[in-house]
Structure 1
Amino acid sequence: MAEHKHGSMDITTQEKTFEGFINFVIRAVIVILCAVIFLAIFNS
């Protein structure tokens, strides 16, 4: 087996993927909140 050295792996791709996921979640939450506020205002 290959010897593993902690902290030696290149994780730039994982970091970019995680950053994209977080940005997607933030935008999705904003859209959902806007939809809920819109429904609360105009559905009465």
Structure 2
Amino acid sequence: MDSANDHKAHNRTYSSFIGALKWSVPLVAILTLLVVILIAE
């Protein structure tokens, strides 16, 4: 079985996913806020 190799690949994939999430969630929140402010005016 290659369970150790699969675990390493999982850790790399999870780390990149979390890294992307840390940048994309605040960016989407800021863009959403800007759109709501523009619509409210």
Per the normalisation by structure 2, the TM-score is: 0.60
Q: Which consecutive residues of structure 2, in runs of 5 or more, have no partner in the other structure?
A: none
Q: Partners of 1:37 and 1:31 in 2: how far apart?
A: 10
* CA RMSD in angstroms, aligned pairs only: 1.8
- Structure number with higher helix proportion: 2
1:3-42 matches, within 5 Å, as 5=2, 7-9=3-5, 10-11=8-9, 12-42=11-41
TM-score (norm 1): 0.58
Secondary structure, counterpart of 2:4 in structure 1: coil
- Count of paired positions: 38
- Per-residue displacement from partner, 1:1-44 (whole Å, max 9, x unpaired)? xxx71x312243432221010121111110111010110112xx
